[in-house]
Chains A and B, each alone.
Chain A
Amino acid sequence: MAHPSWIRPRTVLYGVLTIVHVFALWLIRPQEPAVFFLWITAAALLVVRMRFRLDNRWLFVDYAVYGTLSLFVETAFLLALMSLVLWLYKGTWWALFLFVPVWLLGDAAALDVLALMTLSAVSGALLNIWERETTALLKDMDTLREKRYDLERERHRLVETQDELSRLSVLAERDRIAEALHDDLGHELSGALLALRAYKTEREEALSHPSFSALESRLTSSVEKLKKTVSDASPEESHGLERLRSLIESFDACPLEYTENGPLNTVSILQWHTLESVLKEAFTNIFKHAKATRVDVQLNVDDVIVRLIVRNDGVSSRSERSGTGLQYMRRRIEAMGGSLSIDKGYRFTLVCVLPHHLSGGQR
């Protein structure tokens, strides 16, 4: 959109043409209906051209009207020159050849006529150049504005992803703590309780000692409380592999075969989140566009990479350009050092590869 204070070349052109038309009317001073009819036809054409975008062929009509008017009144030649400005403004350079006979039909030696024609031609050419440059500038502005909006949208998405990752990290940490409590502390306490009960069966006199009873009840209570704490600390919401599996199980558009292999517990929260997003995007596209009858999902993890492959036998868009969702995912994955590729051959295949660092994983 143009800046409100800009003066467009079109405004200048039609402003000048209007002034010349009014001036021509004053020069012609038409009293006869025929002359005024020609003038008003020219004025109507000018107004219609200002209001609507007319085809260049209408310029011939202008030329005919101005030419006819010039036959009646010589001073109407001024309007014919305005027609020359219009032709050149529209970029029809060969129109100059149309005006040579106009000059010749008049006084061929008239320098003033030649000067006016030259002035009109140069004005038209300059206005044409100005218009082209303004159009190019406006186009660049629109492109930049579109890019700014895209960047803004991407920034929002990144903020949302960051929030989601923080939340998932907290869940994973809680899971880890619960597991550590269960595996380490829980086992120690259970071992101590079992040892105490074994001692009790061997030494009957320990049964009557109050400290021994207190110790046993405290240990029993500690084990119970630890179990409850572990149960409360474990997150109810699934994350990581469980979340991916529940997403696959909830897919019901068509039969789906899922295979996984490799050390899946070494995949990090960020990678799980990325894989989940890619899978969601692939499923959405299958739902919306593909009309697939079968989907295959493979998750492979090895020492070097984490790879997710989604294949379906549905239709795919012939367009080379992916949807905005996949384009955004591709940028994110490439920022992580991975890749996202799509093959639209016999079967639609989406392959997401992420680098796998051995020091990564849920811990």
Chain B
Amino acid sequence: MKTVFALALKRSLSQRITILLMFALPVVFVVLPQPQGMEAPVLTYGLFGLLLLFVAFLLAKQTIEDRQMRTIVRIAAAPIRHRDYLLGHLLAYMSLLAVQVSAFWALTWVLLDGPLSFFLWGYPLLLSFAVMAVSLSLFWHSLFKTYATSIAVYSVAANLMAVMGGMSFPLMYLPDRLRSVAVVLPTYWFAYGLELATDKEHLLVFLCLSILCGFAIIFLAIGSRRRFE
């Protein structure tokens, strides 16, 4: 598994545009002006969450490329279990995202104002959202045969999820009817968790974290099925 981890990390770091998006774009979010009347940089974190959705998707494209190039068939004949292959890749992506999340969180804590509880809960919320994003990407790629189709549909779906989940704008502006539908989206619970963190509702934030983990488990369970084509 160590070999797979190292290889996945190497392949991810060779995607220069992804690395640039990972570390350059968050800086832009941090310097964006905050809306009036907001105690904490919820919108900044929301936009970063949207970036996490796409960065995780770009990192996880190796899994669908391996399937397209039939590398997965050769790996199936090799003395490595599919579980180890998958874990190696997921750990590599999570390592990179953890670094990105940590850097962003440190930057926001230094540069932006907000209640302490928001920053203390913000970090685990971001990490759990990153885990969920990687699992979602794995699940999404398992639905399609080619990367081109996968990214085409995902671009629309991810943006819709972000809009309906209240990541691109405050949740209070979301209509009630839409809110009752948005509860099935992981993006809603991320945005809701950020708002609850501002209000110091610790137990509820913990529940939002757990819900994000629940989504991650579901996507991982479905997306971890081995497909050869």
Contact = CB atoms under 8 A, between A and B. Distances in A.
Given A29-B180, A30-B183, A33-B192, A51 B211 contact: no
Contact of A37 (B192, B211, B221, B222): B211
A51 B221 contact: yes
At the interface, is chain B mostly helix, strand, loop or mixed? helix
A52 B184 CA distance: 24
Interface in B174-229: 179-180, 183-184, 189, 192, 204, 207-208, 210-211, 214-215, 217-218, 221-222, 224-225
Given A29-B180, A33-B189, A44 B218 contact: yes
B204 A51 contact: no
A148 to B, nearest CB: 27
Interface string A14-44: 0000000000010001110110110011011
A47 B211 contact: no
Given A43-B218, A47-B217, A48-B221, A37 B210 contact: yes
B221 A47 contact: yes
A44 B207 contact: no
A163 B211 CA distance: 72
A344 to B, nearest CB: 37
Given A25-B184, A31-B179, A31-B183, A37 B214 contact: yes
B222 A51 contact: yes
Given A31-B180, A33-B204, A47-B217, A40 B222 contact: no
Contacts of A47: 217-218, 221-222
Nearest to B179: A31
A24 to B, nearest CB: 12
A29 B215 CA distance: 17
A25 B180 CA distance: 11
Contacts of B210: 37
Nearest to B210: A37
B87 to A, nearest CB: 15
B198 to A, nearest CB: 15
Interface centre among B180, B208, B221 (most CB of A within 10 A): B221
Q: Which of B179, B208, B214, B218: most chain A Cβ within 10 A?
A: B214
A43 B214 contact: yes
Contacts of B214: 37, 40-41, 43-44
A50 B215 CA distance: 15
B222 A36 contact: no
A178 to B, nearest CB: 56
B160 to A, nearest CB: 19
Given A51-B222, A51-B225, A33 B208 contact: yes
A44 B217 contact: yes
Contacts of A30: 183
A33 B221 contact: no
Given A30-B183, A31-B183, A51-B224, A36 B211 contact: yes
Contacts of A34: 207
Contacts of B184: 25
Contacts of A36: 183, 189, 211
* Among A30, A47, A50: residue with most chain B CB under 10 A: A47
A37 B207 CA distance: 7
B189 A48 contact: no
Nearest to A40: B214
B129 to A, nearest CB: 15
Interface in A31-81: 31, 33-34, 36-37, 40-41, 43-44, 47-48, 50-52
Nearest to A29: B180
Contacts of A29: 180
A241 B66 CA distance: 62
Nearest to A46: B218
Nearest to B201: A33
- Kindly name the residue among A30, A34, A36, A50 whose own CB sees the greatest number of chain B CB atoms within 10 A: A36
18 contacts: A25-B184, A31-B183, A33-B204, A36-B183, A37-B207, A37-B210, A37-B211, A37-B214, A40-B215, A40-B218, A43-B218, A44-B217, A44-B218, A47-B217, A47-B218, A48-B221, A51-B224, A52-B221
Interface of A: 25, 29-31, 33-34, 36-37, 40-41, 43-44, 47-48, 50-52
Given A37-B207, A40-B215, A50-B221, 4 more contacts: A31-B180, A34-B207, A47-B218, A47-B222
